[in-house]
Amino acid sequence: MPSPDLPTEAPSFALRAPALALRLPAEAPSLAEAVAQAVRDGVAAGELVPDRTYSVYQLAELLGVSRSPVREGMLRLAEAGLVEIRRNRGFRVLPPRAHDVAEIIEIRLWLEPPAARKAAAHGTDEQHAAIRAALDTMAAAAAGGDEAAFWPADRTLHDLLLRAAGNARAAGIVAQLRSTTALLGPPTTASGRALAQIHAEHEPVVTAVIARDGAAAEAAMRTHLEATGALLVANLTARR
């Protein structure tokens, strides 16, 4: 069902947006995700600017898609705090805020370090083997400089840890939080953090989990998330 805040019929006034060069990313898992990513990329490139209202209809035409995935993509961006839906008009870009990322990391710190402890104590041998396999995939991707393979393996590792802790609901929450973080700004590799360094931060987490050392697993996960959060906040702060 379409959002009541986004028009389902073209408004009688035509919002004239400037010429844009937005493109749909081919690797996106859905059209709505592709639209959201295209808009985020446009914000990062300065093509979409704050305090200007953009037409959903023109964006759909520009990207060569129907209005439905555009509306869905805009709603996702609104949930992330990157756009404001303007009733019966379109959307307005909001500057990404470091505070938004800080809040997300704070929530993840509530969920993931205790989950790593539980995964160490209660995860099965099969779950631990899958966690190690995800880390090995990260290592191979890091060695080859393959970000396209690295980030899915990273997400899989965090998801497996949460599920090994017996909390599928937390896994869903963290997955959504990570999607929101991706919309708010570039990954930490954009500031020079190497894939090998990110892999190295996960290594003590997995080692402790497999050794069933809950305290060490919790501490290592906390260290990793705090380092990630500090870099993401610094990246956004520097762009302001």
What pLDDT is stored for residue 128 in this prediction? 98
- Fill in the DSSP letter of residue 189: G
Is the pLDDT confidence value at 38 over 80? yes
Give CA–CA dist 25/64, Å, rounded.
12
Is the pLDDT confidence value at 6 over 60? no
Give CA–CA dist 113/102, Å, rounded.
16
In Å, what is the CA distance from 225 to each residue of 27, 67, 87, 103, 163? 26, 37, 37, 12, 18
What pLDDT is stored for residue 28 in this prediction? 74
Give the pTM.
0.75
Is the pLDDT confidence value at 67 over 70? yes
Q: Cβ distance 161 to 169 under 8 Å?
A: no
Task: Give the burial string for 79-89 (b: 16+ CB within 10 Å, else e).
Answer: ebbbbbbbeeb
Give CA–CA dist 188/197, Å, rounded.
11
Stretch 103-125: mean pLDDT? 97
User: When comparing pLDDT for 92 and 14, which is higher?
Assistant: 92
Lowest mean pLDDT among 25-29, 38-42, 141-145, 159-163: 25-29
The pair of three-digit structure tokens given for residue 99, joined into one six-digit string: 């505070």
The pair of three-digit structure tokens given for residue 54, joined into one six-digit string: 């953009």
Q: Cβ distance 40 to 48 under 8 Å?
A: no
